[in-house]
Amino acid sequence: MDSAVTSTGPLGPSLAAPLVGRLAIVGIGLIGSSIIHACKARGIAGTIVAIDRDPAVLERCAALGLGDERTGDLAGVAGADLVVLCIPVGAFAAVAEAMGPHLKPGAIVSDVGSVKGSIIAQTRPHLPAGTHLVPAHPVAGTEYSGPDAGFATLFQRRWCILTPPEGTEPAATALVEGFWQAMGANVEIMSAEHHDRVLAITSHVPHLIAYNIVGTAADLETVTESEVIKFSAGGFRDFTRIAASDPTMWRDIFLHNKEAVLEMLGRLNEDVAILSRAIRWGDGDTLFDLFTRTRAIRRGIISQGQDAAEADFGRRHAEGAEGAAGNPTSDKPAGA
């Protein structure tokens, strides 16, 4: 990659020549639009095709200058060297079937989904011989959605996990790895099964807990809605941020990663039972030991650059220049 760098600006290195000649992005939400912004800013792709079935989204793309070409037809993937699917997990089979006949020989199909096993199972049967599937998951995002939410630095210093199926052409994997590195991401390669187990506990279950806690608070008859909002302390406020993520995307994530999520929920229930018993019987040592261990984990997240140590309290949200640009360290929703 270094030999292809021609200059370094505020958004990182720009390439002397495009890494991808023709790039098609299917689904122009937060992640899709951020990819387009990053690729345009760094010269990663020669031509970018923005594809979305929603005419209103395409209209916004035109207004925002997202994509060199825009279409609502999946035939728009024709001629693309790399196709990145930024769509809900449950839509992959239908989209792959519809676009498959239009893929050129040698085309690479990737994605940004938060579940990998199901995506591979849905997509692979519909791809013609001579094409390549290299699934990817950028662990980055915000609670915002839509083409207006994207920004070029979303992936900087974030992790992107690749899960190429066994037998994938190494050159195809290398291109997708270089693609994400060019946008500023750190890349890790693992199996789809391992990915789904890891993300179940680091992302999926936390989102499920957030949805549940916010829903429970809303259902409490002894607390009015105004009191919940008025007296939101840091913990509940942060839960509401996560629970504001796209409902379609998260519905599909839980349905398509249910085995791993249910396994992690089982472990969580066991740990909650231990915690409940410690509180009931006044076992302060157990509580202190747990809080000490979890504090160390939080410090590890900060030391690895995955979040900042200072309190947020909503300030960066208000200071963001482009929609969610003020909150580049939030957990991903996305398709996540």
Residue 41 · residue 11 · CB < 8 Å: yes
Q: Domains in the chain, start-ordered, CATH in brackets?
A: 2-191 (3.40.50.720), 194-319 (1.10.3660.10)
d(CA 32, CA 112): 9
Contact (Cβ atoms closer than 8 angstroms) between residue 230 and residue 317: no
Task: Give the C-alpha separation, 175 to 20, whole Å.
Answer: 8
Please give the Cα distance from 136 to 185 (Å, whole number). Answer: 12
Judge whether 50 and 63 are in contact, CB under 8 Å.
Answer: no
Please report, in tens digits, the pLDDT of each residue of the chain (336 residues total). 443 555 554 455 677 789 999 999 999 999 999 999 999 999 999 999 999 999 999 999 999 999 999 999 999 999 999 999 999 999 999 999 999 999 999 999 999 999 999 999 999 999 999 999 999 999 988 778 899 999 999 999 999 999 999 999 999 999 999 999 999 999 999 999 999 999 888 887 888 888 888 877 777 756 666 677 677 666 777 777 777 777 887 888 888 888 888 888 888 889 889 889 989 999 999 888 888 887 776 666 556 655 555 555 444 443 333 333 333 333 344 334
